[in-house]
Amino acid sequence: MNENRLYSYDEIRPFQAPYYHAHVLRVVDGDTYDLMTDIGFDTFRRLRVRLLDANTPEPRGESKEEGKRVSRVVSERLKPSPRLRIPLGTRLVIQSRKGGVKGSLSRWLADVYYQTEGGWRRLSAQLLAEGNAEVYQRRRRSSKPA
């Protein structure tokens, strides 16, 4: 499911990895979001999630202007639309691979799917296809000598 295309809700529901319904509380930057996530049994948790496969420009430092532009693009894309009928009152579906992996800065790494009028779209694939992101190469933690 890495290509930039629309998915039906039935296609993304049966993921092998854990998936959760969520809505956006805040777009931190183009690839990091604060979400209110339904983790099941009427239990909700605020999580900071980072896109698993895409790296966008930072909204500070040298890439400030480009980073702010991409953050605005993502904010527009993820804001609720009154015309869409969203299952279970949710706005996003997130999928955390390998049982929930945290990256640097204690953010959960996940795929984020958002609903459009034609179906569900994988956000990182769309950002990559539009040139708003680069492929994210996760840094491996080096083992410290004992």
- The pLDDT, as a whole number, for residue 125 is 92
Q: Is residue 136 part of a domain?
A: no
CA distance 127 to 31: 9
Q: Is residue 145 part of a domain?
A: no
Q: Is residue 137 part of a domain?
A: no
Chain centroid to CA 47: how far? 11
Query: Residue 56 sits in a domain of what CATH number?
Result: 2.40.50.90
CA distance 34 to 26: 5
User: Structurally, how many domains does the chain consist of?
Assistant: 1
- List the pLDDT tens digit at each of the 146 positions of the chain: 567 777 776 666 555 567 888 888 888 999 999 888 888 888 999 989 999 889 999 998 899 999 999 999 998 888 765 554 433 344 788 888 654 556 666 788 899 998 877 888 899 999 999 999 999 876 655 545 54
Report pTM: 0.74
Domain residues for 81?
Answer: 6-131
